[in-house]
Amino acid sequence: MRKYLARRAVYAVVTLLGVSLSIFVILRVLPGDPLVAILGVEGHARMTKEDRVRIMADLGLSAPLPVQYARWLRDIGAGQLGKSFFRGDTVAELIAHRGPITAEIAVLALIVSWIVGLPVGILSAFKPNSMPDGVARTLSVLFIAIPGFWLGMLIVLALLFWFGWKSPIIIVHVWQDPWQNLQIVMGPGIVLGLAQGAYIARMSRSCLLEVISEDFVRTARAKGLREGLVVMRHALPNALLPVITISGVLLGFVLGGSVAVETAFGVPGLGRSLVTAVIERDIIVVQNLVLLYAVIFVVVNVLVDLSYAWLDPRIRYS
Amino acid sequence: MSDHASDPKPTVDRRTFLKRVGAAGAGAAIAARLPFPGPAAAQDATVRPDPAAKRGGTLRYAVHNAPAHFDVHQSGTVANIGPQSPMYDTLLRRSPKDGQTIIPDLAQRWEISPDNKKYTFHLRKGVKFHDGADFTADDVKATYDRIKNPPKGVVIPRTPLFATVSDIVVVNPHTIEFRMSEPRPKAYMLGAFASGWNIIVRKKTLDDNQGNLRQVMNYPGTGPFRHVSRKDKEIWIMERNPDYWNKGLPLVDKLEIYHFLPFTPELGAAMLSGRVDYARLLDPVTWRKAKEMPGVTAANFNQSVIQAFWTNTQKNKALADPKVRRAIHLAMDRHTLVEVVKDTAPMQVGGFVYPFHEMSTPRAELEKKLGYQRDIKPAVQEARRLMKEAGYAGGLKNLDFVVRDIPTFKLWAVAIQAMLKEHLNIESNLRVVQTSVWFDEAQAGSFDLAISAIVSTLMDPSDIFSAWYGKDGPQNYSRWTNPVFHDLASQIEREVDDAKRRTMVRKAEDILENDPPLIPVAYEQIYDAWYNKVKGQNPSTFFGIYDVVRWDNVWLG
């Protein structure tokens, strides 16, 4: 097990180095001048070449690219993650302040996806081609197809025009005011959760359909066990592995989707920070946030792999 | 005060006045009957609290996204002015009553020499910065020295306004003189001193930070509000300055300034749901909705921005021909273009000078001119004739049309592309680019046609004649030159007689009509809305969003 973990850790580090290098290069290759955001249109227009050289040096952008990359890795190693080169706020502060909101949204989305997706999948699998199955399949396709940001905007507008209500406009953490906090994360969490729930429903349906035709399920039924017991004790645990795998993958989609959905709901989470940083060409913030998302994705995938051994006694890592 | 203090004749300050009265052996009663106003009138023009005003409460104001840095002098965006203005004062200011009249601020009164080459400001005494330091003329000198001659690596868009200031002399701790190498119109110079951008910063602050305040969040001002806390891209909180020199102000105890991108549904939702009391830069749909809401007031006013379309005169031979550019200018159906974006951003038709400026061609007259009429047939006919005369009757092909990635410009680009094709057989390829890329491309001259917006500090024509149309103007993206115009613009800049200046500005407009340096598409308006409990602020007559953002006279009913 330790060997397996060490091997996965090495792979993870290599993957993250690859991600860091890619995002570093992409951000430097993309056109766009951060000085427009810093100086504004008028200031940018009046800037001399000398001013540009000086400002770029101040921002640490005039050093050779390998030096800039090495400095970034050094900052990561020191846990500093660098500073937004606009206002001087550190990226670590940004993550500490906004990260919890995005994390809550992701967890809520995951919970919603399981609460909605799994029962629907079970119902569909045990009543295949029935009307409830048809409705469930139609709805799942619908939620997969509908873009989260669009649904988010509809919900925001409906709440606004029908009830004159909008969620709080600044971050309120769960430890500061749980009710206000819930109002912030609820909308994006549900929208993202419904989309992921549709995938869970489809995956659990197909896995269960496969499992319930197995001999051990037939045997359970032949023993005279109640259908509920057959499903919960025998069929479901054996159908869950692929669902757990897809949940890990979906968490990545949730993080990616949060960028658009947070913007649609006006939630000041990390996703929205990423959007603003891209617009401002605040490359220090962008590269650190993208790397953070990559770290989360890698860690979740390792955890998912490890959970297999716990869920299925046949699987052992050595 | 401004009318009288800016007039060189009645330069009688309190001390001189009392001396004269004493010498003549006259009593106080006689003094009170003197026909010309003294400093008392100046004091009267200073912002005073509304007698009916209630004190206290928190004003929640939503404006623009967070600033990219904190140096107001270096900025050109409301992202700085919006949240930071309430913490600072300027030498002079625009009255919050009308947004136009220039009134005293840190300068209690001022004098202008008869030759218009010396401006003397008498500063208030007893004013303190938020860190407890005394405000003196040295702070004014340090501030304006920096604005006029920014240190290396510091770019201040207002620098050209003070190009003719040759010396800034501290006469005593509360008197400062600005000596000029040549005169400028009073309205121009006073407008520059009253610009909301030119906040007075402590000399020590500038010295301690090597003249660069980009990353200094909370540098002390003398303004009505003091910094409390800030959450990046969310909120900036300020509290009433209990030591504010203007006793009785500000009226609200706390300011909460929320950052929202302009014209977004998010900003609209915050306003309509009552999460904020006052919202600036609303989108038209929200603004119309707000207008219908009981208990809410909505107002629109002019902004210091032109939405324009540039033709690269250096890259493309055809576009260097004034006839071709005039033809393109005439082929624009401006009223339709305003209509196209009516749900995205509020716009109005205008020419080469702000259409609401007193010296520009009046709107009724403008709309009779080709290119501005509702019926565009005559203009298109003339445009085709010009193209033929220039040798381009068959039109132009494959023009690179660079479009700034903002909804308004994307809508307009498609409409303009169609108009040019239909009216003049000019074919272009749209290239939508992110804002920062747009400015790179524009400055590098990597375009044939380009659409975006640019701003000016002052409404005064001389400011835009140099920045937008000047030979080396920083926003002359077309790289346009016209010696006759540049010569005239230089004369307009020096002319201090308003009547003569007006005539010259009209002449300049005629030159620009026939040899367009850019093609004016529209002029922006600003949409504000607020709940009626917010009293003391109505921006209907304001120009721009940069000069009157102090909130000192605003109260909550």
For residue B384, count other CB atoms closer than 10 A to its CB: 18
Q: What is the pLDDT of residue B513?
A: 98
Residues in chain B with CB shorter than 8 Å from the CB of A165 are 273
Instruction: Say yes or no for a CB contact (<8 Å) between A32 and B258.
Output: no
Mutation for testing the A interface, residue in B436, B443, B455, B546 having most A CBs under 10 Å: B436
pLDDT digits (tens, 9 = 90+) for B292-330: 999 999 999 999 899 999 999 999 999 999 999 999 999
pLDDT beyond 70 at B15: no
Of A42, A276, A281, the CB nearest to B455: A42
CA atoms within 13 A on the CB side of A255: 20
Instruction: Tell me if residue B522 falls in helix, strand or coil.
Output: strand
**CA A90 – CA B65 distance, rounded (Å):** 18
Q: Tell me the angle at which helices B284-292 and B265-272 cross, rounded to the nearest 10 degrees.
A: 10
Contacts of A39 in chain B (CB under 8 A): 74-76, 155
- Please, which residues have CB within 8 angstroms of residue B231's CB and are 6 or more apart in sequence? A97, A170, A171
Summarised one tens digit per residue, pLDDT across range B255-298 is 999 998 888 888 999 999 999 999 999 999 999 999 999 999 99
pLDDT digits (tens, 9 = 90+) for B221-268: 999 999 999 998 899 999 999 999 999 999 999 999 999 888 888 899
Q: Looking at this predicted complex, what is its ipTM?
A: 0.83
| Global confidence as pTM | 0.85
**What CATH number matches the domain at B303-525, 3.30.830.10, 3.30.365.10, 3.10.105.10, 3.30.2320.20?**
3.10.105.10
- Cβ distance of B155 and A273 shorter than 8 Å: no
Q: Do A31 and B437 touch (CB under 8 A)?
A: yes
Tally Cβ neighbours within 10 Å of residue B274: 15
Q: Which residues pair with B60 in a beta bridge?
A: B256
Neighbours of B196 (CB within 10 A): 23
The answer to whether the CB atoms of B266 and A266 lie below 8 A apart is yes
Q: Supply the DSSP string of B163-232, one letter for each residue.
A: TTEEEEEEEETTEEEEEESS---HHHHHHHHT-TT-----HHHHHHTTT--TT-S-----SSEEEEEEET
If you ran DSSP here, which 8-state letter would residue B539 be given? G
Pick from A41, A54, A89: CB nearest B454: A41
Count the neighbouring beta carbons within 10 Å of the beta carbon of residue B337: 21
Q: Give bridge partners of residue B527 from the DSSP assignment.
A: B300
**Contact between residue B439 and residue B451 where contact means Cβ atoms under 8 Å apart:** no
| Residue from A41, A170, A289 to probe the interface with B (highest B Cβ count within 10 Å) | A41
Count Cβ atoms within 10 A of the Cβ of residue B421 and give its class: 0-12 exposed, 13-18 middle, 19 or more buried.
middle
How far is Cα B350 from Cα B352, in angstroms, rounded to an integer?
7
User: Mean per-residue pLDDT for B366-371?
Assistant: 95
B445-463: pLDDT as tens digits? 999 999 999 988 888 999 9
Q: Is B159 helix (H, G, I), strand (E, B) or coil?
A: helix
Q: In terms of C-beta density within 10 A (0-12 exposed, 13-18 middle, 19 or more buried), how is residue A223 classed?
A: exposed
Any idea where the domains of chain B sit in the sequence? 303-525
Q: Which residue is associated with the tokens 């209690």?
A: B108
Q: Is the pLDDT of residue B389 over 90?
A: yes
Q: Coil, helix or strand for B509?
A: helix
Partners of B234 on chain A (C-beta within 8 Å) are 169-171, 268
Give the closest-approach CA distance of B433 to chain A in angstroms.
Answer: 9
Residue pairs spanning A and B at CB distance below 8 A? 139
Hey, which residues does B454 pair with through a beta bridge? Answer: B306
Residue in A38, A51, A286 to test binding to B, most B beta-carbons within 10 Å: A38
Three-state secondary structure call for residue B521: strand
Burial B163-185 (b: 16+ CB within 10 A, else e): ebbeebebeeebbbbbebeebbb
A315: amino acid identity, one letter:
I
Tell me how far apart the alpha carbons of residues B516 and B512 are, in angstroms, rounded to a whole number. 5
pLDDT for B75 beyond 70:
yes
